[in-house]
Structure 1
Amino acid sequence: MTDRPTAPAGFVPGADRSRPPSPGDLALPVAGRRLLTGADGGLPRIEDLPADVDWVPVGTLDGTPAWAAEVVDADALPGRWRGWRGLAAELPEPLATLAGRALAVVTWRRTHRWCGACRTELVDVPGETARRCPGCDLTVFVPLSVAVLVAITRPGRDGGPDELLLVRHAYGPTELWALVAGFVEAGESLEAAAHREVGEEVGLTIDRPAYVDSQPWAMSGPGTLLAGFTATVTGPDAEPVVDPRELTEARWFPVDALPAELPPAYSISRWLIDAVAV
């Protein structure tokens, strides 16, 4: 497999407000879906930015606290503002994971300022990434949306190599050949979601999916977690029938002759493709 991190080594999510930010702590300013990097492409430090920024703890990296903040006047800060796609592609782990966490927390705080039950302004829960209503005691956590991806294979024809089903989506990076994917519904297991998405998107049935790995994925929205599976199609001669609302094309490829237009190496989609292509 290519460029696959074994774990977010050194990064630990957290919400410790027991002390204020120190000058040498990591700083992650967020403006919309963009994050600020320093002139060298790395993350700036608290000392590099104005003193009046309202910093929120997001965890530690190799023991160094990291803080995020929403910025209104982005042009006033020194450095380079970069979109999440570029950051995820270029930042090494665990910096990319930390950047995604900062984007998720800042976006959640902006969209969860008021209680949805009694409309009282929420306050932070000490030591947790949560907000609580002082009026009715409703507690709100960062929402987590889980999606599944499935690398579907079938035996090769006439003793040839196995084949992998790849699809082109009707939205997003439409030029890429990717995997069947979709979000898990409330009350649904990961495996059930994999079966359902495969049936809905390409009209196929699969054997029990085997879990491979997971990846936080801020590119699909703050608080998104991807869970990757492999599975074998039931009925080796079955051909995909695409749902045109989701896909533009679906095709079987020999694992030793995959197209060049594949997902980037930092994505779990590519990890799964590489896993079955070995």
Structure 2
Amino acid sequence: MTVPPPERPPSTTDHAADLSPAPGDLGLVVSGTRLLTTPDGGLPRVGELPAETGWVPLGTLDGVPTWATETADPSRAATQRAVGRWRSWRALAAELPEPVATLAGRAVAVVTWRRTHRWCGACRAALADVPGQTARRCPDCGLYVPLRLSPAVLAAITRPGRSGGPTELLLVRHASGPTELWALVAGFVEAGESLETAVRREVTEEVSVALDTVDYFGSQPWAISGPGVLLAGFTATVADPDAEPVVDGQELVRARWFPVDGLPAELPPAYSISRWLIDAVAARS
């Protein structure tokens, strides 16, 4: 790989905004949710790329400065010949070490946010970058616009097995998105909610099941659902072990209990926190 597996997660502290990329820095060229990669599937160095403009600092990866830029013409022949091919973030996340995949996701998030936050929402003036921050400020009215996070929760819900059998895990199928997967109940946090309250509300709304315990598991930034989406995962147990899910018919089309030793093959990808939760519950049980 062009980028060896790093020993530390990427630092998101922006280096000096008035500097320019050096040839040995990592250069992430983004188009939509795709990134330009080297022929072996890694992330390129700035010196391997044709001249690009609009570089934005992302931070560092194992001490190496990293930059991102967006291109409106991903089919440009010079770019293709100079590096390799375009890969979706999903494809990269399935193959690259986790810290590198996280960096690629940050590039997608920052570039998307910059493209969609060009104008002041209060007075319509063009926003200006705030040096050293992933933020913009209106030069006319002073409105400060950081890259705000959008927290979402997902829960691995379990109940005791029937007649002394293995623990059962509640999995659902969604009406949109990757509809072929058996996934976890999930949803965005609303204003005024704690993460735990959001878990209980989403589970009640989507499958009509009341929860007993709700315990934090971990988190993951998620580049596919939009700029700034942060997934917070939880494990939970049902209040009534005989409860059966009833789907809302809007966001979900199916829901059922699976024994942890008989989970379906159509599960979320291994690089997702959804799969980490499922695997953790299966291993623990």
> What TM-score, normalized by structure 1, do the two folds share?
0.95
Aligned to 1:263: 268
Tell me the distance in 2 between the aligned counterparts of 1:201 and 1:267: 21
Tell me the distance in 2 between the aligned counterparts of 1:63 and 1:209: 38
- 1:66-102, Cα deviation, whole Å (9 max, x unpaired): 1000112222212211122212212222110000000
| Residues 8 and 259 of structure 1, relative CA distance in 2, 3 Å threshold | farther
- 1:20-51, Cα deviation, whole Å (9 max, x unpaired): 11011000011122111111111111112222
| Residues 30 and 8 of structure 1, relative CA distance in 2, 3 Å threshold | farther
1:167-246 maps to which residues of 2 (within 5 A)? 167-246=172-251
Aligned to 2:3: none
Q: Which runs of 5+ in 2 are unaligned?
A: 1-5
Between stretches 116-125 and 12-21, larger displacement belongs to 12-21
Tell me the distance in 1 between the aligned counterparts of 2:189 and 2:52: 41
Between stretches 43-52 and 26-35, larger displacement belongs to 43-52
Structure 2 counterpart SS, 1:220: coil
1:128-143 maps to which residues of 2 (within 5 A)? 128-143=133-148
1:155-174 maps to which residues of 2 (within 5 A)? 155-174=160-179
Percent of aligned positions that are identical: 71
Tell me the distance in 2 between the aligned counterparts of 1:86 and 1:199: 33
User: Is 1:14 the equivalent of 2:13?
Assistant: yes
Structure 1 counterpart SS, 2:211: coil
Structure 2 counterpart SS, 1:152: strand
1:165 partner letter: L
| Residues 10 and 234 of structure 1, relative CA distance in 2, 3 Å threshold | closer
Tell me the distance in 1 between the aligned counterparts of 2:264 and 2:112: 36
Say if 2:7 and 2:62, in contact at 8 Å, map to a contact too: no
Say if 1:14 and 1:129, in contact at 8 Å, map to a contact too: no
Say if 2:211 and 2:236, in contact at 8 Å, map to a contact too: yes
> What TM-score, normalized by structure 2, do the two folds share?
0.92
**Across the two proteins, how many residue pairs are aligned to each other?**
272
Say if 1:10 and 1:61, in contact at 8 Å, map to a contact too: yes
Moved over 6 A (4+): none
1:17-166 maps to which residues of 2 (within 5 A)? 17-76=17-76, 77-78=79-80, 79-166=84-171
1:107 partner letter: T
Give the number of the structure with larger relative contact order, counting CA–CA contacts within 8 Å between residues 6 or more apart.
1
Structure 2 counterpart SS, 1:193: helix
User: Is 1:249 the equivalent of 2:254?
Assistant: yes
Tell me the distance in 1 between the aligned counterparts of 2:27 and 2:190: 35
Tell me the distance in 1 between the aligned counterparts of 2:47 and 2:73: 18
- 1:131-169, Cα deviation, whole Å (9 max, x unpaired): 011111111011211110111101111111111111111
Considering only aligned residues, what root-mean-square deviation do their CA atoms show, in Å? 1.4
Structure 1 residue 10: deviation in Å? Answer: 3.6
| Residues 10 and 192 of structure 1, relative CA distance in 2, 3 Å threshold | closer
2:275 partner letter: R
